[in-house]
Structure 1
């Protein structure tokens, strides 16, 4: 005879079905090459974290219904003996009701969960006696499925509302209730209810089910539907290293075939050398500090226009919104510097002359005074300080503007940023890269920039001009070059103030250009 005080614990033989067949469109570009359930958060994939939580409570059988990129899940069967995969070949045609239909024979005392939910702790229980939704309560207006309850018993399900518990992607069903779900699955699939979620069965037939709510904290489970939501959860996805991967995926590069990524540096942007399979590419990531400073739409358009000149490297990808781009890497090409630029006067002059005389018409104009006003406005908005003596120098710049207006300004397609680093040499060919400042301008601007950025002496400058003109430079063109050098130092000193206001340090680069501008002004005005 048993002791009347003896407590008998009935161990329920639970299992779990994880629905993981969907594409995850809203989390692109990550889901181009990784199924959403396999995306890692804090170093572990969403689905594996939940698998391990289920194993912790003694679950011995886990059915995972896969579809999109099914092969990526195969490792789970090898890693965990408790896992069985089922392939849903109609994942593009049905909502998740068909995934559960395929797993219907495994329904008993069963957890059903979505494969892409992120749990901050193990909320699964091993002693449930009733069917239930594990649910958090949301006070504010939302579009989630609302669980209308009476003393935590679900009496209705509505879409949209506030101050209700919501479906959070995890539920448990007793063997008795599971058999009801199974019968409804047969009917819904036969009736070709392709747009249904499996939870529609419960929503449409709630009176046939006894389902309760197990409240959970709003922080226990976090919905990650978009890339922005993912960044808020895991700060890794905010880091520059990941930005490179994101750009590659956005450009349809399979991230699994990337062999190496090296930082190449850069002033306006960050550049990376990417080895993809057996080819190399240069990836440019446009920093947020350049936002508002550059016209990326014009850069994209101008880059296309100059392709016929064959003076730029081949561009693979360009994002007009961000300025991110990927170009082919020229193996064994030499990036010019202040010293090597002086050895290539003829080649540089030829490529600039080819551009200036091409008769290509850019739709935008690079007007230095408009650029100055734009940078000033952005500096004021950023709350940054101008260099000492700025107002005095600005008054003299206004005088320079008056002098320039009296000269013959000839608008032609210009690069407008002819620093030595934007010239590449391979054998006997010179390439001119990075067209983010390109626009219609006087060609003397490009000559002035090349002279100024390479710190040419008077003799070197004259030699360079002779290569460009195939003879002597005219007095008017020479005057424009000297004026443009002053304006360039002034403009790029403002550029530096603005960049540093956004958190990018350039040491004494800006103040040096500003002081050189002052000195050149003294010799002209």
Structure 2
């Protein structure tokens, strides 16, 4: 869209606009605008008419024809990600659905789009996708699910939505942006990226652009720079050149964590050609063909910096920033975990600081925080865990083993909800399965537990647990393995044999994953997360530790020797391999069930199933 088009768009959107207002809107001198108006009148794009305040400018049919190619066709709102920097709020609510001054951020943008006449809106969803369903009825939007949201970045999201962008003029928005003034229009000129000026040092993507505002380079980090910040507009001409390169990037290994903007940045720098050439040339040739341009000309792709005034666009980086912007979040976040921490420590939410997400476990979600000068961890039970774990039994175990000094310091535990708050230990690390000194320390803790003589009133019964998870799987879509019936029979054989062996029972941890062993600088260690603990065959802890560490047969034998501090007997070898097979079978069923709830664990399911089959076959030689 040229300057004539901008004159026409402003007149269409703001009937009665004055020349002085036009000059301010277009960032041009009053004299230049007056000259453009005369030319538009001569060309028949606009006309003068009587208005409420006297003579005013109005658009003609010819002016509407001039604008037609620049009509915005729709908007894509990216809302697939987790928003880890906003935990614990985002454990319950996607970031874009958080409220700012009583209005959800995504709804504010949808409303602004509607006000501009843009009504064809698609939301790309992933994490907690069901939370967005109500928007279909409320605003007539469409949802597009990205199944790769948890393992890939926004490049994959835009790739999944590329059919919406092809041949169309489209906005791309982030669901978690907040715009003070409506910056959307029914008609747009060439492709642009919203830009904000950042004073001082920044790690944002910094823009270099010419006098006309065309972006010529982008670099991460700088000082006193205009940066990419906020909404984006892609014209159909831009997308025709850009999307073939984005598609090629999607198919290129190593781009899984790329933002969708990376192909554009690499096109400007000439890096896109080099990257695709390195993949053998086929991807490059295809991108050149479909973009209609040789890679040597990709650096001429046109996108402009749409410079915005200060305090117009907000991309909240974390809960602390949101607290500063909307005071409601200082003490009333309406989040169960924050409310719990506030009550346990008897402080307002504003005194809960330095919040960050810890790596989500396979059963629970956790976040780290600081309160009263100390750092603590809050555990939030994952979906469906109320059915899988008896929290009262877990608390009974913690109470029982407290005297051994081998667990984390638990500050709060609710046996009804499963919420737990524990002390965080600075300077520690998890055990390394490849470090046999670490594993010796871990086996020392397990041995101390087993030899303590402590007992609880419940058992970990592998036969009962397998039957329980099997029923859950069959009730939620079935079990996908073709030979499951045969393998289930094998597991029955192993359990029957173990029953006849009448192995001794003691208090076991069951979940002796290396990630649950906390190693201290002085060489000591603690064992965390006793959710599955109960009375069981002591070698079960060795078997579980081995399969969690993906150990082979020889490594498992070595681990058993570290635990026993002697050479194992044949029966002990049999018991540890049989329990490893049964443990693999159990956790495979667990993962199948969790997948039916929408949680995926990659190749873990197959690895555990292979342990069940592999160790059963090995045990035939030990009979």
Length-normalised TM-score, structure 1: 0.53
In 1, Cα distance between equivalents of 2:334 and 2:467: 34
CA distance in structure 2 between the aligned counterparts of 1:310 and 1:442, rounded to whole angstroms: 22
- C-alpha change, 1:253 and 1:488, in structure 2 (3 Å) is farther
Cα deviation code 1:27-66 (max 9, x no counterpart): xxxxxxxxxxxxxx944479xxxxxxxxxxxxxxxxxxxx
Indicate which of 293, 309, 323 corresponds to 2:418. Answer: 323
Query: Which residue pairs with 1:398 in the alignment?
Result: 492
Q: What aligned pairs does 1:19-168 form with structure 2 within 5 A after superposition?
A: 42-44=99-101
Unaligned runs of 5+ in 1: 1-40, 47-235
Alpha-carbon separation, structure 1, partners of 2:453 and 2:515: 26
1:239-388 matches, cutoff 5 A: 242-254=335-347, 255-265=349-359, 266-340=361-435, 342-388=436-482
Residues in 2 aligned to 1:512 and 1:241: alpha-carbon distance in whole angstroms: 40
Contact 1:387-1:511 at 8 Å conserved across structures: no
Q: Secondary structure at the match of 2:568?
A: coil
Q: Contact 2:442 / 2:525 at 8 angstroms: preserved in 1?
A: yes
Tell me if the contact between 1:365 and 1:440 (Cα under 8 Å) persists in the aligned partners: yes
**Secondary structure at the counterpart of residue 368 of structure 2:** strand
Displacement of 1:454 after TM fit?
Answer: 1.9
- RMSD of aligned residue pairs (Cα, Å): 2.4
Query: Given that residues 450 and 508 in structure 2 are in contact (C-alpha distance below 8 angstroms), is that contact kept between their aligned partners in structure 1?
Result: yes
- CA 1:338–1:315: 2 relative to 1, 3 Å: same
CA contact (8 A) 2:432 2:439 kept: no
- Give how far 1:465 is off: 2.8
Which residue among 576, 587, 599 is the counterpart of 1:504? 599
Distance in structure 1 (CA, Å) of the matches to 2:468 and 2:534: 16
Q: Distance in 2 between matches of 1:380 and 1:241?
A: 37
Corresponding residue of 1:424: 518
Partner of 1:473: 568
Q: Distance in 1 between matches of 2:385 and 2:362?
A: 10
- Cα deviation, 1:450-506, whole Å, max 9, x if unaligned, reads 222223344443443333222111221111000000001000000001111111111
Contact 1:384 1:501 in 2 (8 A): no
- The alpha-carbon deviation at position 303 of structure 1 amounts to 0.6
Corresponding residue of 1:414: 508
Contact 1:334-1:425 at 8 Å conserved across structures: yes
Ranges in structure 2 where 5+ consecutive residues have no aligned partner: 1-97, 104-328
Say if 1:463 and 1:385 are closer, same or farther in 2 by CA, change over 3 A.
closer
Cα distance in 2 for residues equivalent to 1:518 and 1:462: 18
Instruction: Say which SS state the counterpart of residue 501 (structure 2) adopts.
Output: coil
Q: Is the CA contact (8 Å cut-off) linking 2:433 and 2:439 kept in structure 1?
A: no
Distance 1:394 1:345, change over 3 A: same
Residues 335 and 400 of structure 1, relative CA distance in 2, 3 Å threshold? same
From the two aligned structures, give the one with the greater helix fraction: 2
Q: 1:339: how far off?
A: 2.5
Query: 1: distance between equivalents of 2:579 and 2:606?
Result: 18
Name the TM-score, length of structure 2 as normaliser: 0.45
Question: Secondary structure at 2:377's aligned position in 1?
Answer: strand
Q: Aligned-pair distance for 1:252?
A: 4.0
* Offset from partner CA, 1:107-129 (integer Å, 9 cap, x none): xxxxxxxxxxxxxxxxxxxxxxx
Return the alpha-carbon distance in structure 1 between the equivalents of residues 480 and 388 of structure 2: 17
Question: Contact 2:375 / 2:423 at 8 angstroms: preserved in 1?
Answer: yes
Could you give the per-residue CA deviations for residues 124-152 of structure 1, whole angstroms, max 9, x where no partner exists?
xxxxxxxxxxxxxxxxxxxxxxxxxxxxx
Deviations 1:257-287 (A, max 9, x none): 1112111121111121112242101111101
The structural deviation recorded for 1:522 is 2.4
Secondary structure of the residue that 2:375 maps to in structure 1? Answer: strand
SS in 1 for 2:365: strand
Q: Distance in 2 between matches of 1:375 and 1:356?
A: 27
Classify the secondary structure of the residue corresponding to 2:559.
helix
**Secondary structure at 1:344's aligned position in 2?**
helix
Task: Kindly indicate whether the alpha-carbon contact (under 8 Å) linking 2:588 and 2:609 is maintained by their aligned counterparts in 1.
Answer: yes
Residue 336 of structure 1: how far off its partner (Å) = 1.5
Structure 1 position 437 matched with structure 2 position 539: no
Higher RCO (CA < 8 A, seq sep 6+): 1
CA distance in 2, matches of 1:349, 1:42: 49
CA distance in 1, matches of 2:369, 2:556: 37
Q: Contact 1:259–1:277 (CA<8 Å) still a contact in 2?
A: no
Higher Cα radius of gyration: 1
State whether structure 2 residue 577 is matched by structure 1 residue 482: yes
CA contact (8 A) 1:289 1:504 kept: no
Between the aligned partners of 2:341 and 2:476, the Cα distance in structure 1 is 31
Query: Residues 366 and 380 of structure 2 are in contact (CA less than 8 Å); yes or no, is this contact kept in structure 1?
Result: yes
Q: CA deviation at 1:344?
A: 1.6
Q: Residue deviations 1:368-389, cap 9 Å, x none?
A: 0100111122223333444221
Partner of 2:171: none
- Are the structure 2 counterparts of residues 509 and 43 from structure 1 closer, same or farther at C-alpha, using a change threshold of 3 Å? same
Give how far 1:425 is off: 0.8
The 2-side partners of 1:488 and 1:302 are apart by 21
CA displacement at 1:363 relative to structure 2: 1.0
